[in-house]
Amino acid sequence: MAETVAVILAAGQGKRMHSRLPKVLHRVAGRSLLEHVLAATREAGIEDNIIVIGHGAGEVKAALGTEQKYAFQEQQLGTGHALAQAREAAGEAATILVLCGDTPLIRPATLTGLLQQHRDTGAAVTILSARIADPTGYGRIIRDGQGRVKGIVEERDATPAEKAINEINTGIYCFAAAFLWPALTRLKPDNDQGEYYLTDAVALAVSQGLRVETLVAGDAEEVLGVNDRAQLAAAGAVWRRRINAAHMQSGVTIIDPETTYIDVTVTIGRDTIIYPGTFLEGNTIIGAGCCLGPGTTIRDSQVGDGSTIIHAVVLESTIGPGCQIGPFAYLRPGTILEAGVKVGDFVEIKATRVGRGSKVPHLTYLGDATVGREVNIGAGTITCNYDGRQKWPTIIEDGAFIGSNTNLVAPVRVGAGALIGAGSTITEDVPAGSLALAREKQVNLPSRGKKGEEKRQEKR
């Protein structure tokens, strides 16, 4: 068993979110609130985490997976009661780090500092506090004349003088397990909520003359919790600022950081330029020297060095180096573009591989297709891949030229170097190097001319 265990309290209903989704599963910057907290503990070197779940427990488990360790709080009877549910799972760990699942801005360095102070001082309890301009709604840290912690008073119980205190309890603590577990059994729900408050364990430590320490967070912003949609948006704005600043410091040009949305899970190479209105989401990797946006969304995709993507949507796709995409292109899942491919305006591609140097300039749909190298696909080309029951493949080999307004009725193969005349509907394979024409014969009727017009006038 690890010397330190983190217990993350995530059982609450989050009523102010007005959502069917458990509060801790709402997302900012590419992760749920709870995943941000878990990432912070891992980066702080804590591998053993226990998540206390209750409301929406099934959904939380489904989102985080069975590899996580859980404790269940059947009735939400307060933070002290929630922490007590983790007693068995914590085993013989000597130090218990307690966090809230709705604090996605906490930094790993802050947790490391809190743990270090707790160990260095030998405290029974070490509280992470913060000083904020408006402490309304938070519990206040009460100190004696020597600056020692006397206790924590909640907003509803505070006197006017106590409400004027701007040092708040963040709900993040380190406890010595030898003190914590017996203390939790002594908590009483003597409050108007009828709940077991973890803050009462702090008061118990003070009454026993045990050492209670605090670490004041250097940046109060990182300890802010999320209780409603406005605070969710505020947390997203903080993460966006952090993420964009980190990329810019690493050599990425972001024209307007306030209108650029990059998930924490995204990797970007240096000398890439990102224009406003760009969203980079999920497990996306952007190469060096790319140009992205404006008005572009890229999700769970890889983009090779030197590619340009303008006013486009790219989902679960792989784009090679030196590609040009957009404006107004839509790359759906399973799209693979090799080096130097051009995909122009109003092109949709799905589950298709396009070979090196091929061009799909505009007004085209490619689905379930394999396109070779140096292929030119004319405007208005469509792969007719769905027969109402299943999808069928289209294969276009190297060097083929597909004329404009062509329908390729799958399954069908166009051989290397073949040429398809504009306006054709191709239902059979086209041999390599051949010319295929499949359209109605043009009929030109003689003009009626001036006499025809005179006759029509006579009839009138």
Closest to 32 (Cα-Cα) out of 13, 59, 5: 59
Asked, as a colleague might, if the bond just before 327 is cis with ω within 30 of 0, I would say: yes
Catalogue the E-assigned strands of 37-166.
49-53, 69-72, 95-100, 125-131, 140-143, 149-153
Tell me the C-alpha distance between 57 and 73, whole Å.
9
Taking domain 229-436, whether its CATH number is 2.160.10.10 is answered by: yes
pLDDT of residue 447: 78
Q: Are 82 and 62 in contact (CB under 8 A)?
A: no
Q: What is the DSSP letter of 56?
A: B
Catalytic residue chosen out of the listed positions 36, 118, 247, 362: 362
In the annotation, is 362 catalytic?
yes
pLDDT of residue 137: 85
Query: pLDDT below 50 — which residues of the chain?
Result: none
Residue ranges of domains in the chain: 4-223, 229-436
pLDDT of residue 451: 58
pLDDT of residue 441: 85
Tell me the C-alpha distance between 98 and 120, whole Å.
18
- Cα–chain center distance at 47: 22
What kind of fold does domain 4-223 have according to CATH?
Spore Coat Polysaccharide Biosynthesis Protein SpsA; Chain A (3.90.550)
What is the pTM assigned to this prediction?
0.91
pLDDT of residue 440: 85
332: tokens are 């759906």
pLDDT of residue 442: 83
